[in-house]
């Protein structure tokens, strides 16, 4: 079978290796599709090295079917269509014990510390099988759509902490795939006014088709003026920052109303610092929150949202590449024009 391997950043090998056989507790999955994520791109470029085991086989947003089942595994059979919640949590740390498994002290992530899915077959380690991270999925959807449960789960985790409800005014800063998934959930929650700030014209157009009431080109338009016009000068109830530019945070806080909330959803580039208006937060009594990962419950809910049709992700895969063109797929993901790039294994 073919397996992609990154010996180090910006170097890619396609290796012919034997099809794996599962050890006790493991599952072997024939990978059908892997969607690429901003963090895959950061590993490829060498910007993300923490938590990555080199040489690396990346890929954590996957769907496929089980081909063989290790001794002792119950509840799964060859032929099951599955996707994977890629967060391997320990189950015994303070956070796991209180249900905040996304904050697990000992987390390892499939596709980073654990060899990932960009191969024809992949092994799901026993811990993930035992945790219930392998989720059976419908075969009514294309596998590259099922793979999107992973980013949707992370977005749902952030959304559920952002106080968005019927009639809310919401600002989404950054209309890439993550910002657009936040848009879908805000629409589903009945938000009254949703503003998306995004420099790419094609992504702004996508956002309008998917329910954004106002889109802003932050390069050529004033975000503050657009928010003031859309909210009668009040500012938005909730702002979600979906692009990791620290310089955008101060303005996002300024356009959020008194008592409002700002979610730093994105991870931030550079040295990860920025300047924020402390007295705006203080006098406006705002909540500025962070966000990281998702729980298994979030993942299962994301699968449910996709399979029930309550969220339609059929337009999200803008590009498809075969496994032997992973470098082209990564470059396409870097381009900033695609929504989601899928590798069809």
Binding site for Zn ion (CB under 5 A): 37, 61, 89-90, 93, 96, 104, 151
Residues in Cβ contact with 265 at an 8 Å cutoff, skipping those fewer than 6 apart = 155, 158, 178, 182, 240, 241, 242, 291
Backbone CA torsion sign across 78, 82, 87, 91: negative
Q: Cβ of residue 87: shortest distance to Zn ion, in angstroms?
A: 10
3-class DSSP state of 161: coil
- Find the DSSP H helices in 125-233: 126-131, 143-146, 149-159, 177-188, 201-209, 223-231
Q: Cβ of residue 159: shortest distance to Zn ion, in angstroms?
A: 16
Q: Cβ of residue 225: shortest distance to Zn ion, in angstroms?
A: 34
Closest listed residue to residue 17, CA positions, set 120, 124, 126: 120
Cα 292 from chain centre: 10
Q: Cβ of residue 146: shortest distance to Zn ion, in angstroms?
A: 14
- Residue 154 or residue 214: which is nearer to Zn ion going by CB? 154
Closest listed residue to residue 227, CA positions, set 280, 173, 164, 185: 173
DSSP for residue 50? T
Q: Cβ of residue 251: shortest distance to Zn ion, in angstroms?
A: 27
- Residue 37 or residue 173: which is nearer to Zn ion going by CB? 37
Residues in Cβ contact with 128 at an 8 Å cutoff, skipping those fewer than 6 apart = 84, 85, 88, 110, 134
- Residue 212 or residue 302: which is nearer to Zn ion going by CB? 302
- Residue 119 or residue 195: which is nearer to Zn ion going by CB? 119
Q: HSE on the CB side for 91, CA within 13 Å? A: 7
Backbone CA torsion sign across 102, 104, 105, 109: negative
Cα gap 343→118, rounded to integer Å = 8
- Residue 28 or residue 178: which is nearer to Zn ion going by CB? 178
Q: Cβ of residue 175: shortest distance to Zn ion, in angstroms?
A: 17
Residues in Cβ contact with 75 at an 8 Å cutoff, skipping those fewer than 6 apart = none
- Residue 91 or residue 190: which is nearer to Zn ion going by CB? 91
Q: Cβ of residue 61: shortest distance to Zn ion, in angstroms?
A: 5
- Residue 74 or residue 98: which is nearer to Zn ion going by CB? 98
């Amino acid at each position: 079978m073919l397996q992609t391997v990154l010996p180090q950043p910006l170097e890619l090998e396609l290796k012919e290796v034997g099809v794996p056989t599962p050890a006790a507790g493991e599952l072997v999955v024939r990978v059908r599709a892997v969607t690429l994520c901003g963090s895959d791109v950061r590993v490829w470029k060498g910007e993300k090295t923490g938590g990555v085991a080199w040489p690396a086989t990346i890929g954590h947003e996957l769907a496929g079917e089980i081909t063989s089942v290790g001794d002792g595994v119950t509840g799964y059979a060859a032929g099951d269509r599955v996707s994977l919640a890629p967060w391997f949590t320990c189950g015994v740390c303070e956070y796991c014990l209180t249900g905040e498994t996304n904050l697990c002290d000992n987390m390892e992530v499939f596709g980073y510390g654990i060899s990932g899915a960009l191969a024809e077959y992949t092994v799901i380690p026993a811990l993930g099988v035992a945790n219930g991270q392998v989720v059976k999925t419908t075969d009514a959807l294309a596998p590259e759509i099922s793979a999107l449960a992973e980013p949707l789960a992370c977005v749902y985790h952030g959304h559920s902490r952002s106080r968005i409800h019927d009639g809310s005014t919401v600002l989404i800063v950054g209309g890439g795939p993550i910002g657009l998934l936040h848009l879908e959930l805000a629409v589903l929650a009945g938000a009254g006014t949703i503003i998306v700030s995004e420099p790419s014209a094609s992504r702004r157009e996508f956002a309008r088709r998917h329910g954004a009431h106002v889109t802003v080109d932050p390069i050529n338009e004033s975000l503050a003026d657009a928010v003031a016009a859309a909210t009668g000068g009040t500012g938005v109830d909730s702002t979600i920052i979906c692009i990791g530019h620290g310089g955008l945070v101060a303005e996002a806080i300024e356009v959020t109303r008194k008592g409002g909330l700002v979610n730093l959803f994105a991870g931030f580039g550079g040295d990860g610092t920025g300047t924020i208006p402390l007295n705006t937060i203080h006098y406006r009594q705002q909540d500025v929150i962070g966000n990281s990962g998702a729980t298994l419950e979030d993942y299962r809910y994301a699968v449910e949202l996709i399979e029930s049709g309550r969220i339609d992700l059929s337009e999200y895969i803008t590009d498809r590449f075969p496994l032997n063109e992973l470098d082209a797929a990564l470059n396409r993901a870097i381009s900033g024009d695609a929504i989601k790039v899928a590798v069809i294994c």
